[in-house]
Amino acid sequence: MIPNRHSESGVALIASLVILLIITLFGLSSMRSAGLQERMSGNQYDKNLVLEAAEAALREGEAVAAAPLTIPATCSNGLCPILPAGGTDRWLDPTFTAWRTAKSINDKLVSSQFIIEDMGVQPVDGTCHFQTPVEPTCLIPLYRVTARATATNGRGTTVTLQSNIRQ
């Protein structure tokens, strides 16, 4: 006996279309997730690369600051005198241009630079400056080294590091 074709309701077709829709949504979701993970790993790579460059620039600046320095009257080639009271920190000032370019392994990916700021003289041990008279060996120069590295790929990844060096 041949079944009546008019009594078929197409349930199998509807069920297979629903399953196909669910599989398509899973596929789109996994593709979106993969794209997001790729962007996150790219940002993490940029951050690590820029951090390494900033650390290298900081070490270079610390080596310069550890040697005897002659600080100019105005900022020049990464060397800066004591900041006037109430002045904006140089490393926060977007118009500041006296950064010294640091050596970089890959200038095409990262630009790095540093400045060395004279922070004045500081007591060696924290109490010697209370003595009368103050001994000449009590006060030593203190320098703040600020290093900055920026990715050149346009994503805006920037790392700024600082350290203080006593001579």
pTM here is: 0.73
Instruction: Give SS3 for 103.
Output: coil
| pLDDT at res. 2 | 61
- Which pLDDT tens digits describe the chain residue by residue (167 residues)? 565 666 667 788 888 899 999 999 988 888 888 878 887 777 888 888 899 999 999 999 999 998 888 889 999 999 999 988 888 888 988 898 999 999 887 778 889 999 999 998 888 877 777 778 878 788 888 899 999 999 888 777 889 999 998 87
Q: Which of 45, 62, 52 is nearest to 112 (CA)?
A: 52
- How many whole angstroms separate alpha carbon 92 and alpha carbon 35? 35
Adjacent-strand bridge partners of 118: 143
Tokens of 21: 């829709």
| pLDDT at res. 64 | 92
| pLDDT at res. 107 | 76
| pLDDT at res. 162 | 95
| pLDDT at res. 124 | 80
Give the DSSP H/E element, type plus range, for residue 80: strand 79-80
| pLDDT at res. 116 | 95
| pLDDT at res. 1 | 54
